Structure 1
Amino acid sequence: MTYIEMLVPPFPTLIKGGYAVFEKGTKHFKRTFTVFDLIYVKHGELFITEDETPYTVGEGQYIILVPGFEHFGHKGCCVKTEYYWLHFSMPNSYELVEEGIDNWSDILLAEGDLTTPSSYRFCLPCFGEIENNNYVENIFENLMSISHQTPDYQLRQQLYFQEFLLHLQKEACKIPSAAEKVVEEAVKFIQDHYTEEIKMEDLSQAIHFHPDYITRCMQKIIGMTPNNYLNQYRLNEAKRMLAMTDEKVANISQEVGIMDPTYFSKLFKRLEGLSPQEYRRIILRKK
């Protein structure tokens, strides 16, 4: 197993990210990049060779392709494949090593003081499988769904990217926290039932934790309350429908679980900075 070893801070810098779909038979193109390319497969599988080593990246797995190494698809997808990709650079030097970190406490190299920040050592696997898929895919969704109309959108994306790297290191050390497990269950319940009316009592009964504890866990791990997450997830689904269908806004509102179209439009504008109709016009214009 190859690991990327680096010192943080500063964290690696996100350059750009996206979501792509390969139809059956499509191959990843050949290139040698000057930046890192992380690929996470949501559905299907990719067949990628890097530096003459072939990899099969399946559902829930990721690969970090290293600058300077040629990579290409050595075989077409057997099924329709959906994946997220992130291009990033490393502000500090890094090394490719053969051993990672087993103990979470070993990431701390030096404690900071009033004038010097703490120093940490990260060892991220170049190829691996995500255990908490819902949590990670939520990070990707949030990162991709930030409106590009605001001047600070790339800074906000960087925060989600750092959160993803931190989680990747935690999973490499095999230490999901109790709070992360609660969040994983809560997120799964919300995603499975977002088209219905969801009350905190429903969520509490479903995953057997007190509503206040669930809220604290979600605020700590993903930075939002269950209701905030539900609204964001509903709007992410609505944005897909606005971009890919001709459905009326009122119908889309009901399909994502918001029965009042007026409230839906107000919520959409408050969180996205523009109305559903304006969002649809911008997306269609870009297409």
Structure 2
Amino acid sequence: MSYLQFSVPPIPHYLNVGEVTYLPGERHPNRRNIGVFDILFVSRGSLHISEDGAAWKVSRNEALVLCPDGHHFSVEGCDEVTHFYWLHFNAEHWRQVAAPQHFQTDPFERSTLRQNRFNLHVPKYCRLPFPERTFTLLKNLMIMMDQPSSLARWKEQSIFQDLLQQLMEMEESRSQSAPGVIAEKAALYLRQNYKEQIDYEKMGRDINYNPTYISRCMKQVFYCTPLDYLKHYRLEQSKMMLINTDFHISAIAEEVGFPNVSYFTKCFKEYEKMGPRMFRSKYRALTTKRWDISD
């Protein structure tokens, strides 16, 4: 499955919406570089659409997202009377990916650097998980186009975000599959026990799953091994302690579960491109400066 990955902020921005009905034999227009994203929501019949060498038959209760810089057209006419809604929106930072590349700002950056960045993933083509709800939202958008108030414009954006969420349910459902449930259970176990010495065998016994299967599930859902996830989480906890406590570096290393300070320092430098002492000095000064400005 192909996905459109949006780096947020800024969030994708709704522009306008409409609906079209084609008779048998009629085709979607041949367009190139239209400059906006165009989502087709089919409520009846089917569309035969090609974009940049790929082709889809978009049938009832399905959706396809066309890209602003692509070339799309109908490869054949409609087989039957076909009705669909179209929706245009803009987004600044995006790309197509074969699989979701999950990213979000860690708690340290959110609290200290005042940043909250993350990726959204919308399937290029999907079956609508809640078609009736989706079509109701589209109809509401069409009604609101004739309302001149600023509040209406705000509500349009809110409805659009709800529509995007409907599409993202496809990606969310993946994490609720059996591998997703096991990966989440393993991740929770690692977060709750990160101060302890953990290996695959112990984790497998404690959460009652085969260690090899746990590792495969975490790679599928989090794109890393359990031990890599654990190391990353320990480093995130150490960053908070470096900023908020006066503990010695060796004490912090022991507190977050590293076997010795040398290995902790090595991992920290690989992760942050600076040592823990330099990190503490840099971000304590930055945090103090920000508080001084706010005062």
Smaller-chain TM-score bracket: 0.5 to 0.7
Structure-to-structure mapping, 1:52-63, within 5 angstroms: 52-63=53-64
Match of 2:143 among 120, 142, 145: 145
Q: How many angstroms does 1:10 deviate by?
A: 2.0
SS at 1:67's partner residue? coil
Structure-to-structure mapping, 1:153-164, within 5 angstroms: 153-164=152-163
**Structure 2: 5+ residue stretches without partners:** 177-295
Structure-to-structure mapping, 1:31-42, within 5 angstroms: 31-32=31-32, 33-42=34-43
**Structure 1: 5+ residue stretches without partners:** 178-287
**Residue identity in the other structure for 1:146:** M
- Range with bigger deviation, 165-174 or 20-29: 165-174
Aligned to 1:50: 51
* Alpha-carbon spacing, 1:114–1:155, altered in 2? closer, same or farther (3 Å): farther
Q: Cα RMSD (Å) of the superposition?
A: 2.3
Aligned to 2:68: 67
**Residue identity in the other structure for 1:164:** L
Distance, in Å, in 2 between the alignment partners of 1:49 and 1:147 is: 29
**Residue identity in the other structure for 2:144:** I
Distance, in Å, in 2 between the alignment partners of 1:3 and 1:115 is: 30
**Residue identity in the other structure for 2:143:** S
* Corresponding residue pairs, total: 172
SS at 1:99's partner residue? coil
Distance, in Å, in 1 between the alignment partners of 2:103 and 2:61 is: 25
SS at 2:86's partner residue? strand
SS at 2:173's partner residue? coil
Larger Rg: 2
* Alpha-carbon spacing, 1:161–1:114, altered in 2? closer, same or farther (3 Å): farther
Distance, in Å, in 1 between the alignment partners of 2:144 and 2:4 is: 28
Distance, in Å, in 1 between the alignment partners of 2:137 and 2:175 is: 16
Match of 2:133 among 121, 132, 135: 135
Aligned to 1:21: 21
Aligned to 1:123: 121
Q: How many angstroms does 1:175 deviate by?
A: 7.0
1:100–1:125 CA contact under 8 A, matched in 2: no
1:110–1:120 CA contact under 8 A, matched in 2: no
Percent of aligned positions that are identical: 25
Distance, in Å, in 1 between the alignment partners of 2:106 and 2:133 is: 29
Distance, in Å, in 1 between the alignment partners of 2:112 and 2:160 is: 27
**Residue identity in the other structure for 1:39:** L
* Alpha-carbon spacing, 1:134–1:80, altered in 2? closer, same or farther (3 Å): same
Distance, in Å, in 1 between the alignment partners of 2:174 and 2:133 is: 14
Aligned to 1:165: 164
2:126–2:167 CA contact under 8 A, matched in 1: no
SS at 1:131's partner residue? coil
Q: How many angstroms does 1:100 deviate by?
A: 2.3
**TM-score of the superposition, structure 2-length normalised?**
0.54
Structure-to-structure mapping, 1:215-226, within 5 angstroms: none
Distance, in Å, in 2 between the alignment partners of 1:86 and 1:115 is: 35
